[in-house]
Amino acid sequence: MKLFTGIKFHTDTNNWYAPLCEFWGRHKSVHAAEYMDTTSSAGDWSGYILQRVGNNVYAIGFSQENCWQGAGFNLYTCEHPFYSGRVDEENLIDNVKNCWLQFTNF
C-alpha cells in the first residue's frame, strides 16, 4: 500500500473541517487524524494523518489551504512521514503529538 505522502486532495465543501473528514472517510488505512494548529480564521490549518500499513503506522503531516475566492479547500501532505511506529505501541498518539511538536518547531 502506498503512503499518503506528497499528495494534494481537494474538496469543494466550504467547511473548515471537511478536508480532513472527507480524506479520512475515503481511506480505510487512516488510523487516526487530528488538526494540531487551527489558529487561522480562514481555515488554513495543519495537523497529522496516522496511516496504518500492516502492523506499522506512519504519521504524515498535512496542511490545508482555503481556496478563496474559489470554492473549498486543498489538503496537502508532506513528502515524508515524520514518525513511524507499531500499531500496538503504548502511548502511540502521545508519541506522535510529541514528535509533531518537534517537527513544527524548526
Residue 5 is predicted with a pLDDT of: 96
> Cα separation of 34 and 70, whole Å?
25
Secondary element (H or E) of residue 104: helix 92-104
Residue 53 is predicted with a pLDDT of: 93
Nine cell digits for residue 75: 489538503
Q: What is the pTM of this model?
A: 0.87
Residue 99 is predicted with a pLDDT of: 85
Residue 106 is predicted with a pLDDT of: 55
Strand partners, 51: 30, 58
pLDDT < 50 positions in the chain? none
Residue 87 is predicted with a pLDDT of: 82
